[in-house]
Structures are given as structure tokens and as C-alpha cells.
Chain A
């Protein structure tokens, strides 16, 4: 049992015990309220460079199994939890969470009063944090001097195109930090998927003769993504069915003249009710968002709101008035999370089918 510390930019210190790698780590800290799906959360590229606090008091009982990976290895910079299961008994597991994090050089810290930490973060919002051996001035100086990268998409997107073959429609996925769940869903429709890097050109996209475009989810600030992508989206949405998720949704909004802003309280969990306005249907879905669509900026644009979060009224979906193009803020790929929110994939594939037929 090695003592370690979680320190926050605002000077807070939390004492805990080390697990995973013994490395020192830095990142933006946030809390996640899901009770299941820790592996999917740790491996979601949207959390690239971040430190996750799990509010559920124990994780790890189901171990690590590769079917639950959303990327190759963990994407988070650190894991904060009350208790880590030392052993797991799930028949699918190949290693424990500790072994997994150790293998990928990611530190974890347990025995933290995560409820106190969560209540603190609820008040302060996200901030920089570090897991260190000693919470001395030096550690705080280093933490405060740290400049977080705004190159998240560049760092998580695939450097080169690849194909995930299928017998169905030709779908191009623009990778802004793609998670496996999106590919799994497209597999279910037997789509022939080509994943392109975030900086693909219009020609590179159109040369593939796509029937539809998916703008993937991904990490970071949508404003940090090169302006050229917005132009690409504006061109593609006129020609092809287009579907944005998470960061892809935020980029779709920006491309259509809608503002995106930092959320006062971020959403990371799977328990918020989301209302689909046209049907009045309420569903639950996994959310992972630090940015939101500015409601006041919708007016006068060519998009309209399709989904809202009932806890705070934040916009969760947009649709173009003139083109078969739409987007959702939440994660419809069920990895992890409720399975009732998959409909956007159905809608998208319907559009793709119509286009192929016509």
C-alpha cells in the first residue's frame, strides 16, 4: 500500500492509495456518475488527457475484457475512486483494472472521499489536477504551470484512413476521436465503413463514393478544430446524409452558424432524461459533454432543436431544415449505457438507404 495524493489547481489535497502505474500524472479532472461501464469510460477517447473520478464507490469487479474497449488502452490520464476491486471474477475478464492501468502507465488513486471531491468539483467546475507522490509546493507549481493542450483531436484521430468492411452502404466516418461503439453500431447495419482522419479533404471523402457521413465524437474544445473542417461539413451536408455525435454534433452546430459554449456543470453519466421534441419521448443515454449549444444562437440559422436534457434544458440534438443532416450531443452507441437511445443510428441508416435507393 503506497500513499499518494490527488492535488487540484485550487490547492485542495486528497490523500489516497496508489494503484495502476506509479507515474505522476496531470490532466483536467471531472466526475462520472455511471454505476457501470468503467472500462468503456476509461477507454473513451473523449476523455483523452483527463482524470476521471468515479462516484460509484467501487469499480473493477467485472475486470477488464477487450470487448468493452472503446479504444486501444485507456485514454484517461488518471483514475480516482473510493475502492478498486483487487480481483475480479467475471468470466470474460483477462486482467484486473490495476493490471490494465499499470500496463498502459496510467496511475490510479483509491481510498479517496470521492463524494466530498464530487461535491467540491460540483461547486468549482472542472480544473487541472495531478496525482503525485508528495503534495508539496513543487507539485502545485508544476500543476499550475501546466498548459493543457488544445490539440486533442489531432492527438486522438487516426493518422491514416482504414476500412472496416461490410456488405452494406458505404459510410465514411470522420475521426475526431472515434470510439469503438460507433463502429459496432455501424457493423450492426452491415455498413462498409471507411474511417478518415479529422483533416481529410473533400476529395478524399467523395472519392470513396459515400452514401453517408458520420462525424464522430471526440475530446476537447470544438473551437480548437481547424476551421477547414466546418467548411467540409457545410459542403458535405448538402450532398449526403450526415450524422454528428458529441464533438461531431458541436462541429455540425458551428458549421451552421450556431455558437457552442463551455457548460457551467458538465454532464458525465447515464441518468439524465432526454426528451425527443417531435415525439415527446423521454429516454436515457450516456452523456459526456463539457460544451453545449448556445440556445440563443439557434434563431435565424438553418438548424432546429430535436432533443433537450430535462434536468437543465441543455440542447441534446439538432437537425438541418433543408438537408438530411442531424446530430446528437449524447452517445447513442450504448457503450456503455442505456440501449433505448440508439434511434439516431436507425434514422441515419434510413436516410442512407433512401439515398442509395434514389
Chain B
């Protein structure tokens, strides 16, 4: 009988977790099934792509230790995987182990020591001291007065952190007793054990992460390092991150690498370990700040940036395979698993903030960045220079071209500039540029911001480049240089007082064309046929047209507030179905954590911004027969259609109307539109807290008169019913594309793949079963009596300090669901 292994999911997405762990667990399931395991998966996240696999036993249960124990006992589970469900899964694994003891299943790859050290800094510190490795000075406290004692002993500033926190771990900095007074109680309350760690602050130091692999024979491989541009004091997720490491010399890098190895060995980790460091730029001394034994966003970033097969390798190693024998896909060269990746390009990760959107929604925010995460998503930019990578990441984060224009920040007074340099806000990259423009010296800026001067020189260079472009309209050499350093056609057009299309044509006429380079982990030393590409403007192009019948899929980019994770689920599912239908698929996207980047889902992937010019460049190479675009990209859709391309739009509303803040139950009629006719699927209800589907209520659906259909595209639609006339069965309200949140939920709880069916209708190749199903609607066998999706917006309060009720239909990033 096959061994039964349980993957612990991560529950709702949120500030700590986008879709990276879902992408990892999806791939891990494949790797486990390949090895003959019977795989169980527990999660209550309605957007889980892994849970939509039909080769896994899915348990839709709240993520609690009790529920895990029940599943383990009921199914005879022998092993647990806790590395692909974020911090939640590692905490639960430890709790399960405490309950079941030696009788319980084995937690593969992880010792209880490493699980404890990941959650408890004090314990980590003790172990580090044992191994003569430098740790942050920490004191444990369980009352407010103990917190104050610790702060006095360590001297301000200090950072307070909850032990075993509910939700994401928060670091709260206190500069003085007054600030400590504000955070001490809050931090204690957030701890499940009512304990906190008080750390000596290392604010201003460089934040570095190292990701390593280790196997049972103690072979250790460094997969990559990430340097944050912003110093410790700004949450790493809010920082601009760069890989490979830019400003540390070889001896320092080697010391950190060796330290990460010692820790992996000390904790006897089999598989993946991430170690975070703070390096003091004054003397290159360092401390270990955290260890993270699971797949998180940093790991995902390194996987994307290096092309290293992270999940296949970590899966093998946690099952006690050796790194030189572990199975990886035949796409990679034989030795890829044990060659330390080396990069010949630079990747920049840029955080996405949405204070602006919240403010448009009438919600007050504080834009100042600190040790609590404020960003809701991120984009990646890749280039052969830091300038290009930064420019591309910025564009991908949907900053408009105005981002780098001089007029935007011009209104700030000098004292406001200084204030914001010291206390940075979400738009600090613009502020840094403005400060350079106003003549602050690099030394002054470094002093005020603790950002390495190196980056100011790079920003200075970007500004010089812009000036040069402006001063030399239609100069070929200048244009070439500008393209290489990542300036978009749109920005150049603006600087030349022209339009994007003219610049583009001029570029084309003069043969200044993008060259695509592969991401592969040997920097050109070995021949590898990897399918990931980024653009630059150099000599050699490595990307050839994939084939005659390809579909280009435009991703949804960085997560913002709202439906990021469900959009990722929708696109990933549809991509997979296009492949199943026999098409070759090409993806362009730039959210490094997105599900769509799962290698099996497409034949070729481009890490590029999603502006029209970037997409047109790819279309010129790939000449796809069809382009699939999310429906909110209206300008893009029109441009693509204008060029005569076959454009397939996935219906999606740009903005959902904000109607949910009142205590009101919205009645929703959900339809499948096959291009001719609306087919009623289900009636659902939505309030500001939840979406609900009741089996009992569905009989109602047959009587309702199908409303007018104002849209043309095949798709899933939703009628928001404002009034229902019981006698005539006529509804008043309006039709809209079904929000992705509802689509994902519907797919899950109906146990039918509506999205896959949608793809077949898009391709005009429905199956007999599809046709029969549509004809039989609204009669449908519901597997459950009741299904409920609950919005999780609790984190907004902590992260963005929002007290007001949010419109969850518009803003909620996270949800859980349950079925009865």
C-alpha cells in the first residue's frame, strides 16, 4: 500500500502569503505522486489551485491542530509536509507533534528544533550561541513591565515580537518608552502564549536573505541570496529587493553562506532553509535575524530569478534523497540540482502598495513604512543592469510613466522631503529621485536613509539618462542606450514630445529590437533548454517562435487589493485547460509568486511588464494564433484587436462597485454564457462578510426570467438582483462578469470545473458532456447542502491600521470557505 502523506495548506492568503505556497504545493504533489505516494491535502482556501487537482484527497477543513489530528488518524497518514503552507503550516505541524508525540506521523525534512527556532527567536538565539554564531540580543517577556525591563537592559530602540502569533509575525519598533507603551500590550495580546521577545534594534543595517538546500548526507548548496535596498526597519516585503547580492564583497558573502550552512546542519534540515541576516555596513559584522524553513516569497523570488528547480529538489531532499541523485525534469541539464546557481542577470522585486485605492474608497491611511508589512503585492523586473531591472519592476508595478517625471514630487517643501527621507512612505523611490534632483548629495542621502550609496548612484544614472534622452530627440545611439537601461517606449515618447507608436516604429525601422535571454542557473556555462525568458536590448536573441499554433496568455500581474489570489487561480486553471486541449501556451506575467508561473502550466514563460509595448514585442516573436487577456485591460484589448489578432477576453470587471459596506444581503444569479444563451447555474448571497450558496434555494432558479445579456464574450456572469417581482418572476438589477472570487468559490463547491468548460467554449470545442450539462441547467447535483465563503479582513487593521469597515467585495484579499 502506498505511503500516505499529508500536505498542510496555508489557509487564507493575506499580507504574509500570496500564492507562492500554493504554486509550490501544486508542484510538490506532482513530485510526490511520481514517487508513489498517496497525497492528502488540507486547506480551506477557496482559491487553492492545489485543492483543484483530481489526484489528491482534499480535506476542506479549518486549519487547526485538532482537525489535522482527525485527518491523520482517520486516514492512517504516515508523513506530514509543513514546508508549503507558510508559517501556519509549520506552527500546526509542531502542535500536531506535541499532541501525537512519537505515535504521530513524521514531519518530513524538518526537526522539531527547527520548527521551534522558526517561531521563537529566543530559542533560535540560544542555539546560535551554542554554535558560536551571532544572534540578535533578545529578552523574553510575558508582562508589560518585563517588556520595559528588557528594553532598559538592551537600550532603545528595541523591537517587540509576539511569540506564536495569531497570523503573521509582526515586528514592532519602539524608539522610546512612550512608543513601547503603545506596542507592549498589543504584542502580548497577539501571542497565543502571551509572551513576547524584545530584541535589540538593528535598524539601519542591510537586510540579506540566503536560501540553501541540504540533504541527509550533509551536502549543502547555496541557491541564492537576496539583498534589500531598504535597511532593517522597513519590512522586507515592503522593501525593494535585489538578487544577486549587489553591495557585499566576496568574503562577506562567503561568511553568510557558511553561516546558513552551519544552521541547516545544526538543525539537521533535509531540504530547504532560508536564513535572514542583518549586516552592519560599518564593519561587516552581522547577526542572524530569522530562519524560515518553508517555501516563502523570498524562496519563490530566487526560484524565478535563477531558474533553479526549487520544488522538485526540496521534495526529493525532504524524502531523504541525495542532491546528486534527486529527480528533476528532463528539461534541465543533468547536474542542475547540484550546481550552485550563478546569475548573468539582475532581478528586482518591487512592492506594490494600494494606499491610493483605499483613499479613493474613502478610507484614511497612513503611508509611512515601518516594520509592519504594508504592501499587498509585488512585481519582478529582470534585466542585465540594475537600472533596467528597476525600471521594469517599476513599470510592472503599474506605475505610470509619470513615475520618473520631475513634476510629480515637485510640490513637496524641503522639510517635507527631509521628513520623508527619514520616515519613508510607499512612494519613496520617487522621493529619492526628487531629493537627487534637488541636489542632495549621495552622502547626505545615505546618512538620512541608510540606503547604500550604490543605489543612489544608480538612481542618479537613471535621471541622467532621462535628461540625455530629452536633450537628444530621435538620436539613435541615445535611444539604444535608453532601451538597454529599461526606459519604455512610452516614457521616451513623452520625453520627446511624441507618441508611443511613433517611437516604436522608429525603433523598429532602425532595428533596435529586444533580445530575449533565458533564465538558467549556469550563466551560459552549460547548454540548458529552459523555457523562461526576459528581455534586454543586446546582440543575441535566444527566444525563437515556439510553434505554429500557440496561445499567448497575459497574466494579471502584481496583486493589489481584492481578487489577486482568485485571479491567479482563474488564469492558472484556464492555462492548464488550454494545454490539455492541445495548444502550446506562452505566458507573460511579472508577479514572481503567481500560480501561472508553475512550470507545467505553460510551454514558455516571459517575465515582463504588461504594458502594451512589452506585449507587442513578445507577439512579434511568438506570432500567436490567439491572445487571452483579462477583461479589465480595455486599452490593451483594443490595441490587440486593432492589429487583427484573435483576442480572447476573460470577462472581468475593472472595478466592482462599492456596495457592500451596509448590512445588506445581495442576491446574485450566476450564469454561464456560451456565446448565444445564458445558462443559470446557481443563486448565491453575498454580504460584507460572506458569500453563501444554499442547495434548498436553487429550485427558485428555474422560475426566474433570464435577464437581458449586455455582454458578447463567452464567460461566467453574475446578475446582481436588486428587486424581484414574485408574480412575474422578473428581476431588476444589473449583469456583470462574475467576480473571480465567486468563480473560484463556485468551481470549488460545485465540484465542477466551470473554468475548464469555459475554455472549451472559447475554443469552440465543447464536449458532449458540456452540452448536456448546459441543457440540463439549472438542474444540478449539488454535493453540499450549504457552502460558505468568509472574507478575512482582520489583517487590514493590523497592517494598514484601518479601523473603518471595508467593502470586502472590493478589497478583501483573503477568504476561507466551508461546506456542509
Contact = CB atoms under 8 A, between A and B. Distances in A.
A122 B220 CA distance: 27
Most buried by B among A116, A265, A340: A116
Given A115-B344, A273-B324, A340-B261, A56 B244 contact: yes
Nearest to A282: B219
Contacts of A89: 247, 446, 452-454, 457
A31 B324 CA distance: 25
A61 B246 contact: yes
B257 A338 contact: yes
A229 interface: no
A310 B526 CA distance: 14
B339 interface: yes
Interface string A172-188: 00000000000000000
Contacts of B335: 273, 310-311
Nearest to B257: A338
Contacts of B538: 113, 115-116
Interface stretch (B117-125, B248-256, B361-369): B248-256
A88 B250 contact: no
A150 interface: no
Contacts of A311: 335, 339, 526
Contacts of A113: 515, 538-540
B762 interface: no
Given A31-B524, A62-B248, A87-B457, A56 B342 contact: yes
B310 interface: no
B517 interface: yes
A335 B247 CA distance: 18
A284 B261 CA distance: 12
B524 A122 contact: yes
B250 A282 contact: no
Given A55-B523, A61-B454, A68 B250 contact: yes
B338 A310 contact: yes
A266 to B, nearest CB: 10
Nearest to A86: B457
Interface residues of B, number: 54
B158 interface: no
Interface stretch (A32-40, A44-52, A124-132): A32-40
Interface in A303-358: 310-311, 334-340
Given A57-B385, A68-B249, A269 B342 contact: yes
Contact of B384 (A33, A35, A57, A337): A57
Contacts of B374: none
A91 B283 CA distance: 8
A187 B520 CA distance: 39
Interface string B505-543: 000000000010100001111110000000000111000
Given A89-B452, A310-B338, A311-B339, A33 B249 contact: no
A337 B457 contact: no
B343 interface: yes
A114 interface: yes
Interface in A85-105: 85-92
A58 B346 contact: yes
Contact of A118 (B221, B446, B524): B524
Interface in B453-498: 453-454, 457, 461
Interface in A261-285: 265, 269-273, 275, 280-282, 284
B452 A282 contact: no
B261 A281 contact: no
B342 A55 contact: yes
B517 A115 contact: yes
Contacts of A249: none
Interface string B227-270: 00000000000000000111111110111011001000000000
A182 B338 CA distance: 27
Chain A at the B interface: SS class: loop
B463 to A, nearest CB: 14
A34 B341 CA distance: 10
Chain B at the A interface: SS class: loop
Interface in B328-352: 335, 338-346
A118 B338 contact: no
B247 A62 contact: yes
A85 B456 CA distance: 12
B454 A85 contact: yes
Given A31-B524, A115-B538, A282-B324, A271 B340 contact: yes
Contact of A336 (B254, B344, B446): B254
B384 A34 contact: no
Contacts of B217: 280-282
A337 B526 CA distance: 20
A282 B335 CA distance: 13
Most buried by A among B323, B384, B523: B523
A62 B219 contact: no
A33 B523 contact: yes
B386 interface: yes
Interface string B80-97: 000000000000000000
A50 B246 CA distance: 26
Given A55-B524, A114-B344, A337 B338 contact: no
B532 to A, nearest CB: 14
B218 interface: yes
Contacts of A118: 344, 523-525
B339 A272 contact: yes
A271 B220 CA distance: 12
A34 B247 CA distance: 15
Contact of A92 (B249, B515, B525): B249
B281 interface: yes
B282 interface: yes
A259 interface: no
B540 A40 contact: no
A83 interface: yes
Nearest to B517: A115
Contact of B540 (A83, A115, A265): A115
Nearest to A334: B254
A88 B455 CA distance: 10
Interface of A: 14, 31, 33-37, 40, 55-58, 61-62, 65, 68, 82-83, 85-92, 113-116, 118-119, 122, 265, 269-273, 275, 280-282, 284, 310-311, 334-340
Given A31-B525, A61-B246, A86-B461, 20 more contacts: A36-B245, A36-B248, A55-B342, A55-B344, A57-B344, A65-B249, A82-B385, A83-B385, A89-B446, A113-B538, A115-B384, A115-B538, A116-B539, A116-B540, A271-B340, A273-B221, A273-B323, A273-B324, A273-B339, A336-B251
12 contacts: A56-B244, A56-B343, A57-B345, A87-B457, A89-B247, A89-B446, A115-B344, A269-B525, A311-B335, A336-B251, A338-B258, A340-B258
Interface of B: 217-222, 244-251, 253-255, 257-258, 261, 281-282, 323-324, 335, 338-346, 384-386, 446, 452-454, 457, 461, 515, 517, 522-527, 538-540
